[in-house]
Amino acid sequence: MLKKMLLGLTGDQLKGLAADLGEKEFRGKQAADWIYRRGCRRIDDMTDLPAQFRIKLDELWEVGRSSVEKISSGRDGTFKLLLLPYYGELVETVGMPYEGRFSCCVSTQVGCPVGCAFCATGAGGFKRNLAAGEMIDQVLTVGEAAVREKMLAADGRVSHVVFMGMGEPLLNYDATMAAVHLLNEELKIGMRNITISTIGYVPGIYRLASASLQLTLAVSLHAAGDGLRRKLVPNMSRYLLKDIIAACRHYINHTGRRITFEYCLLKGVNDSHAEAAALASLLKGLNCHVNLIPFNEVQGSDYRRPDPAVIMAFRRVLETSGITVTQREQKGAGIQAACGQLRRQSGPK
Ligand code: SF4
């Protein structure tokens, strides 16, 4: 029988586990240091824990780290790791260096049940939810690879986490939120440096609002009308755009946080002036900004990236309406690590 993962337990849970095994609680704190701050992979390597405690732990528990199956590196410093997580099935995670920060893009599911028309993952179907510890493992593993590649100093660490990898995070809510709290409390990543991206799963947005966290919520629209959105995001068609916007308004009012709307621009599909105007009117009065993601062309996909002039024109319509617009940098395109290009990872949710 597979042992349980220590990775994913909070400091308090580890203290409780130590007490249950007849040890002083601070032994649990020591174990947390080994797991979350020293990247320890084996219980036996936690050398300042008493040998008896390690033996007892080892009977039912394992640290639960993944193995790295493949690393692909891009010219822009982005790298993609293919990981075999503790509970099996391959997942991808991406490390992205930026000026003064290092970001990790985390997968929350193996495959994805949403099946967006333009997403490389959507085609692969859904396999399973990832455990919180398997998400934290991605961040630790990306950090270790970045140190090895000298992108981070030996004592450097991942500073930002985006839950934009394979899967819809809000459909794996409990594990994703457990991971968010572990990132914040054990890995000391500020809440404001954590982004959760959703395709517009309305019940999840309300649930997240009630958690009142200072993280960033990114909501992917990809269309300004329900007819087109139904085609692009078929498995979320029970939530109309007016319901998604109402949930977002509630989120903004409840948390005081600005929302990012993601919009993947697809040539001849959703990049027209009319679509831009409809998007501007949909978002009128909301405390938000729009992140445009020109489609990253994937082999075998019928979708294409719009011409730069069309992207600029789309952007101008939004900006003229007073909406702040950013355009996502196309990081990792050369190694199929950019949005929409990952076979085992997500598209531009
Ligand atoms: S874009 Fe996101 S929600 Fe849509 S299929 Fe891909 S991973 Fe799932």
pLDDT at 328: 75
Residue 144 and residue 57 share a domain: no
Residue 81 and residue 221 share a domain: yes
What is the whole-number distance in angstroms between the Cα of residue 189 and the centre of ligand 1? 25
pLDDT at 125: 85
pLDDT at 345: 41
Tokens of 172: 């794996």
Residue 142 and residue 18 share a domain: no
Nearest-angstrom CA–CA distance, 296 and 327: 13
- Domain boundary (15, 43, 62) is at 62
Q: Are 90 and 107 in contact (CB under 8 A)?
A: no
- Choosing from 104, 105, 288, 339, which is the catalytic residue? 339
What is the whole-number distance in angstroms between the Cα of residue 294 and the centre of ligand 1? 16
Whether 246 is covered by a domain: the verdict is yes
Residue 125 and residue 17 share a domain: no
Tokens of 82: 């293919």
pLDDT at 329: 66
Whether 305 is covered by a domain: the verdict is yes
Domain containing residue 252: 67-335
Active site residue 339: yes
pLDDT at 344: 43
Atom of ligand 1 nearest to the CA of 197: 2
pLDDT at 123: 73
Nearest-angstrom CA–CA distance, 134 and 93: 11
User: How many Å from the N-terminal Cα to the C-terminal Cα in the chain?
Assistant: 36
pLDDT at 215: 96
Mean pLDDT by 10 residues, the chain (349 residues): 95 97 96 96 96 96 97 88 96 92 95 88 86 98 93 90 94 98 97 96 98 95 96 93 97 96 95 97 95 84 92 97 86 54 48
Nearest-angstrom CA–CA distance, 139 and 156: 13
pLDDT at 341: 46
